[in-house]
């Protein structure tokens, strides 16, 4: 039987994985952007109390299996939370349903180099030499960086755009340029053109723009469909967001060079939480401290419903918020979360941060229109 490979959908990263897997000689089934159908499938076949990302992934796998996928490539997880069990659980459920899929699980390469080598070998039907594989991985990594950099640029420009919607439209266009780039030179060229195109969008230099840091669990941070495009909504509300996590930062130690103290996320979280609690709970705390030190106007925590590390982080973030005088808003996301409700809470949060900022700047208290 012909092997057809697929993987979870996480933002725009599928463009890179498609290229890399094709280069190694695999036939790829592209995962669709998670939709209502994905969620319904996931909810139907995943255990009721499973975390939200597990349900979305379940739905994605079923959608891609429908299109012929039989090899699922995913990441594992370390630390005391359920992430490490995801792949095995998915595999068992799918096998029980009569889908004999092969599961290839990548653990963090720095901790498990052998697992990495073995898995790359399994995904290399062309039997490329090690040198060629390294070249393919380097090119894929560079494309991932280009995608991340284009996305970061939209976070800066969207809240300042003169015509609403221009950034989102331009972003969709430039993504295709990066997608079409293949050689290293083409990728660098496409990235340069994409950034120029985004930064040349007409902007209002006078606008009062707030800065908000986004922290939380990796999947709901990286997949806009799972967080109801919160970053785009915030941008449209005049907020420049800085997300604490990108796929290109996943394997690195998160040293935060911008802080004066040169503190790592782990150092920053240490006074509040000296232990690893799994998932990205400790990162959520450390990043909030660092955002506060950089005078951000607020922080938003995105957490899957029933995610223990983020629940623990949320309780601790109350103290961080008080100690550093920074507003923190948490969203627990699941299949019931609606965009309208989220937008209303965001508008209220933005209003609060604006008043705080104006008070700091002018010393004047801004009263709500209804109170005037």
Task: Please report whether residue 223 would count as binding ligand SF4 according to CB under 6 A.
Answer: no
Distance CA 70, CA 1 (A): 9
Contact status, residue 149 vs residue 191, Cβ threshold 8 Å: yes
Closest to ligand SF4 by CB, 28 vs 300, is 300
Specify the stretch interacting with ligand SF4 by CB under 6 A; choose among 19-27, 36-44, 79-87, 162-170: 79-87
Task: Please report whether residue 107 would count as binding ligand SF4 according to CB under 6 A.
Answer: no
DSSP string, 181-224: --SHHHHHHHHHHHHHHHHTS-B-TTS--EEEEEEE-HHHHH-T
Nearest approach, Cβ of residue 3 and ligand SF4 (Å): 28
Task: Please report whether residue 314 would count as binding ligand SF4 according to CB under 6 A.
Answer: no
Nearest approach, Cβ of residue 281 and ligand SF4 (Å): 8
How far is CA 78 from its chain centroid? 18
Figure out which of the listed residues 53, 159, 213, 298 binds ligand SF4, where binding follows CB under 6 A.
53
User: 18-30 b/e with 16+ CB inside 10 Å = b?
Assistant: bbbbebbebebbe
Task: Please report whether residue 217 would count as binding ligand SF4 according to CB under 6 A.
Answer: yes
Task: Please report whether residue 42 would count as binding ligand SF4 according to CB under 6 A.
Answer: no
E-only strand ranges, the chain: 4-6, 27-28, 71-75, 102-106, 210-216, 239-243, 298-304, 328-333
Specify the stretch interacting with ligand SF4 by CB under 6 A; choose among 78-86, 95-103, 147-155, 208-216: 78-86
Cα dihedral 22, 24, 26, 29 in deg (nearest 10)? -40
Figure out which of the listed residues 308, 342, 352, 358 binds ligand SF4, where binding follows CB under 6 A.
308
Specify the stretch interacting with ligand SF4 by CB under 6 A; choose among 77-85, 140-148, 244-252, 353-361: 77-85
Task: Please report whether residue 159 would count as binding ligand SF4 according to CB under 6 A.
Answer: no
Nearest approach, Cβ of residue 307 and ligand SF4 (Å): 3
Q: Report CA torsion sign: 92, 96, 99, 100.
A: positive
Figure out which of the listed residues 123, 143, 304, 329 binds ligand SF4, where binding follows CB under 6 A.
304
Task: Please report whether residue 62 would count as binding ligand SF4 according to CB under 6 A.
Answer: no
Task: Please report whether residue 89 would count as binding ligand SF4 according to CB under 6 A.
Answer: no
Figure out which of the listed residues 42, 279, 286, 298 binds ligand SF4, where binding follows CB under 6 A.
279
Figure out which of the listed residues 24, 81, 268, 328 binds ligand SF4, where binding follows CB under 6 A.
81
For 43, other C-beta atoms within 10 Å of its C-beta total 18
Figure out which of the listed residues 21, 29, 51, 317 binds ligand SF4, where binding follows CB under 6 A.
51
Distance CA 344, CA 262 (A): 37
Cα dihedral 289, 292, 297, 301 in deg (nearest 10)? 0
Where does this chain bind ligand SF4 (CB under 6 A)?
Answer: 51, 53, 81-83, 217, 278-279, 304, 307-310
């Amino acid at each position: 039987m012909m092997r057809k490979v697929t993987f979870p959908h996480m933002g725009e990263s599928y463009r890179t994985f498609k290229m890399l897997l094709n280069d190694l000689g695999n036939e790829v089934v592209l995962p669709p952007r998670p939709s209502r159908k994905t969620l319904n499938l996931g909810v139907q076949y995943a255990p009721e109390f499973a975390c939200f990302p597990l349900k979305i992934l379940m739905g994605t796998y079923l959608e891609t299996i429908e299109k012929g996928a039989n090899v699922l490539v995913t990441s594992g997880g370390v630390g005391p939370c359920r992430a490490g069990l995801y792949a095995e659980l998915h595999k068992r459920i799918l096998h029980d349903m009569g889908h004999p899929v092969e599961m290839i699980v990548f653990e963090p390469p720095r901790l498990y180099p052998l697992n990495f080598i073995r898995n790359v070998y399994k995904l290399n039907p062309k039997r490329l030499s090690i040198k060629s594989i390294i070249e393919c991985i380097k090119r894929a990594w560079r494309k991932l960086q280009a995608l991340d950099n284009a996305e970061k640029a939209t976070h800066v420009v969207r809240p300042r755009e003169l015509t609403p919607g221009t950034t989102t439209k331009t972003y969709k266009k430039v993504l295709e340029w990066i997608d079409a780039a293949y050689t290293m030179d083409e990728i660098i060229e496409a990235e340069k053109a994409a950034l120029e195109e985004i930064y040349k969008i007409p902007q209002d230099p006078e606008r009062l723009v707030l800065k908000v840091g986004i922290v939380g669990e990796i999947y709901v941070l990286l997949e806009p469909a799972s967080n109801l495009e919160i970053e785009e909504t915030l941008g449209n509300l005049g907020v420049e967001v800085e997300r604490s996590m990108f796929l290109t930062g996943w394997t690195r130690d998160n040293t935060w060079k911008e802080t004066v103290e040169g503190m790592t996320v782990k150092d920053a979280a240490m006074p509040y939480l000296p232990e690893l609690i799994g998932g990205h709970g400790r990162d959520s705390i450390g990043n909030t401290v660092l955002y506060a030190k950089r005078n951000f106007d607020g922080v938003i925590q995105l957490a899957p419903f029933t995610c223990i590390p983020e629940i623990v982080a949320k309780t601790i973030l109350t103290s961080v918020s008080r100690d550093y005088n920074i507003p923190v808003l948490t969203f627990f996301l699941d299949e019931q979360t609606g965009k309208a409700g989220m937008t209303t809470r965001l508008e209220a949060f933005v209003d609060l941060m604006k008043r705080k900022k104006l008070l700091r700047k002018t010393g004047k208290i801004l009263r709500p229109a209804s109170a005037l």
